[in-house]
Amino acid sequence: MMATARLYLDWNATAPLHPAARAALLRAIDLFGNPSSVHGEGRAVRAAIEMARRQVAALVGADPAHVTFTSGATEAANTVLTPDFRMGRKPVAVGHLYRSAIEHPALREGGRFARENTSEIPVTSGGVADLAALDAMLGSHDKESGLPMVAIMLANNETGILQPVEEASSIVRSHGGIFVVDAVQAAGRVPVDINKIGADFLIVSSHKIGGPKGVGALISRGEVLMPAPLIHGGGQEKGHRSGTENSLALIGFGAAAAAAVEEFDARNAAISLLRDRLEAGMHRSAPDVIIYGVDEKRVPNTSFFTLPGLKAETGQIAFDLEGVALSAGSACSSGKVGDSHVLVAMGRDPKLGALRISLGFSTTEEDVDGAIAAFAKIAGRRKPAGQAA
């Protein structure tokens, strides 16, 4: 009996390797030189890394000189979320971190700030950062403690809801603060331009766009004001992140970024239609399904939903048994399925639970139709209201 092909619909957790990234990795596998060496072998690797730096910069409209490669978005977050900054050689104190209630755990933990020096920016019931609250919080910031820092993600990893980062940037600038934007789920899915956003720092990740895991970047708008390094040593990455670069992964990251730029319009138009097809199909078989963010701007690939009468853990297992891979919120918590802090922040009952389907560059209509069929089967097996699923 032939095994049924599984459907991978968990792209916000990680994307399969893009063919362009795979090809780049295979071409680069024999580039063995140390990129800090001055001989020909070292220079060849250095040239490949600098090409990757230009490709990643182009993904977000940045200057390649302002791209600092890291081991991933989590390291980038821990690097920039610090009270210790430098303006040239002069130390600059950052007194308090204000981060939205729906941030990814990598930023929600506050990086190198003490707990008492972090505050949470509330969000509306629609899952959007409350800018009036942000303005009020910054208005009462203790300037004697140092500059304020604000961290608001561009696209939420669970709901896909886009945040008003350009408006937030204006507020942060008016209060003399530093603005950090997590663009991990947005890069390659919506237009991202660090200068248009007005972010001082952007965070991006390779494996969310079809590159290898274990590599990301902290991208700055300038080089005058920079965080004190998290990792010290040989002075690689202009001293901002020491350690011999993972050249193979960086080359794959660059290729994935270049593919995201080249394919942007066609890819996201197709994915948006697939997401709409999916949600229409879910509504047909379960009119009571709750899809979060339908009245807000979202990235085109994400659908975050609650099926009343079905717990998130039960639903995730049920879909897996039907051959569909999806998530119950963030996939960066060692496989744990707990209450969604995003739903809590939106004022929703977290006990309802929610599931996330996220699509990508190789998702097809057949994949979506398969997910709709699985959804219909699972929805039909729900217990009557008042009984546990």
| 121 alpha-carbon distance from chain centroid | 19
Active site annotation includes 332 = yes
The active-site residue, picked from 332, 352, 373, 376, is 332
φ and ψ of 167, to 5 deg: -65, -40
Cα 11 to Cα 18, 331, 376, distances in angstroms = 12, 10, 22
Rounded (5°) CA angle 155-282-209: 30
Sequence-ordered list of residues with C-beta below 8 angstroms from that of 285, at least 6 positions apart, any chain: 372, 375, 376, 379, 380
Write the DSSP string, 250-286.
HHHHHHHHHHHHHTHHHHHHHHHHHHHHHHHHHHHH-
- SS3 state of residue 48: helix
φ and ψ of 224, to 5 deg: -75, -50
Which residue numbers are catalytic? 332
